[in-house]
Structure 1
């Protein structure tokens, strides 16, 4: 699979973590920040696992998990934006949308 995509996902995850460090760690944000970091890091981890999949079925399964996790990541980002209503979320939301489309395409064509 495309090493460029793996690097793109890696950078996205790093940017999510760096971004979360800038957020107010209030009681309200604590759960969302934790969920966002968990889902974002899972996107990358499952994509990496897919690259070393033991079979085509294993590859497809890990890509599907990555897709689910990027969808969840997008959800948490949209919640944070709705709470904060700041444009600082737009770049991360846009990248999560693009990754969602790419992983969705990989998932649908790997059948």
Structure 2
């Protein structure tokens, strides 16, 4: 049931965009590691890749509340990812152009997650 909903609501766009975001985060982590930045980049790697993993988990949720819970946790991880991106930018580890690209991807995921959660909550309350 939830698997079909996620596919129908987003046509896999959310899943695809979160996977693309994860790839970008892994690439950024590798570059930052070469620059000897390990603490913030590791936090970003963890939260940035968790978004897609949680969306994948939500596909096979056991119930609508479980589906909403998984997407809500993905939303929290996306928000945390933005924090680390902003901190890396403000401390000059990533430039303005890269920050803009990553934060646009991140904000798009956040918007899509918020919409999916709202839709699922409306369906839950019917």
1:61 and 2:51 are equivalent in the alignment: no
Segment of structure 1 superposing worse, 14-23 or 57-66: 14-23
Alignment of 1:47-86 (within 5 A): 47-84=55-92, 86=95
Alignment-derived partner of residue 96 in structure 1: 106
For the pair shown, the structure with the greater C-alpha radius of gyration is 2
User: How many residues are matched?
Assistant: 108
1:106 and 2:116 are equivalent in the alignment: yes
Moved beyond 2 Å, runs of 4+: none
Q: TM-score, normalised by structure 2?
A: 0.81
Task: Give the Cα separation in 2 of the matches to 1:5 and 1:38.
Answer: 19
User: Which SS does the other structure have where 1:92 is aligned?
Assistant: helix
Residues 21-73 of structure 1, C-alpha deviation per residue, up to 9 Å, x if partnerless? 11212xxx311111100001111111000010010011000000000000001
Alignment-derived partner of residue 17 in structure 2: 8
The CA deviation at 1:109 is 2.1
Segment of structure 1 superposing worse, 92-101 or 60-69: 92-101
Structure 1 runs not aligned, ≥5 long: none
Determine which structure has greater relative contact order: mean sequence separation of CA pairs < 8 Å that are 6+ residues apart, divided by chain length: 2
Task: Give the Cα separation in 2 of the matches to 1:103 and 1:53.
Answer: 15
